[in-house]
Structure 1
Amino acid sequence: MQDAIAVQSLKSDIALLRQNIWPPIDLAQVEGLPIYYGSASAVAAYYTQWLGLIERAQDLYQPFMQDEVVDAIHLPSHLNLPLFYFSVDRIRINKTQAKESKTFRGVASLIDKCGQFEPEQVMKMQQWLDSDDTAVLVAHREFIDLRTYVFQHGQSDYTRTRFYVNGIVLSTVDDFVLVDAREKPRKQRSDSYKDPLADNNTWKIYAKNR
């Protein structure tokens, strides 16, 4: 109970600070996105205002991480803390065709999550489930996903992050490069699912065996 109260108190304090200092007014912004960047000194000054709350969050969640040290980047997103990256020399923003996937073993639960379908499609789905003990229904919903790839100086690999929930703040090096590839969506990988049993213009439903 004490932990739950502490988490709620922390979330309230984070929400209050966001009201007062988010978005950061002294940093540059990527057009239309909650991505902010600036010099090391400018971001350090802004980061200092968040540091107390970040450390409180790390202290709260450290017991769940055993021997690992809780990196601020890996704190739960529901806390709504902005993500900070330092010594960033390049970022790439990609728009990707993606899909959400859910698996169901019953038509009623599928309709509850995915909405209504034509009666004949509902019948097809039920017939498939009745045909085999291993039969399941897989629902796919296509959407456009925005992702940022963050390249930090001295690190051999990039960090891929979604930014539109909490926002991100980048402390950049002098020759920082921003690659905005939103106008060139990456193609979705080939899909092994063909011939849907049902389609309500949002979700496509496929037959599959577990």
Structure 2
Amino acid sequence: MKTKRKLITITAPKSPISEQYKTIRTNINFSSVDREMRSIMVTSSGPGEGKSTTAANMAVVFAQQGKNVLLVDADMRKPTAHYTFNVQNTFGLTTVLTRQKTLRDVIHPTEVDHLDLLTCGPVPPNPAELLSSRSMEEFLVDVYADYDMVIFDTPPILAVTDAQVLANQCHGTILVVSSGTTEIESGQKAKELLQTAKGKLLGVILNNREIKDTNYYYYYGKR
């Protein structure tokens, strides 16, 4: 098993970057005045832009607020959450959606109070079909009964259709872009695909912006 990845909201909860994640949390809470925000999908336009790290840190700060949170690794192409939290990925979301095990059989508690993890499970041959299945609808009903907030880490939206399929099932979507890496056209195309899928784009997180040598700044912008 790979070495556990460090999450700054756990290792340095009072750091400037952790404070930015809390700002994101606050903005999300304010954005849900008209509708309760119970599920958030985190995606990016392409790979390597930091969506999985962002999803995990967001899950941590919501849990630190006292909400019962479930982080779901819905990236069935390249799952990573089990590495981040150093747990086995023998069973997970795909196991639940194919009705081989129940949700409660495969949940992993984490070291963070109020935060549970659902890993991806075995990589399936048909991710988009699983995410659009009746089982997925039933899964959402199930998790809403036990959790205040569900955060989905999904594949890059320009790479495969999985994120588009899930976008209109979640209450909101956050798009992660990487400073100096994400092309403007790619970001615009990702936004268009989310809108076409009738997903509610809450905003964009600009990741990996270098300021004064090695400091990083995260910005959450409402449309």
The TM-score, its normalising length taken from structure 1, stands at 0.26
**More strand as a share of residues:** 1
- Find the structure with the greater CA-based Rg: 1
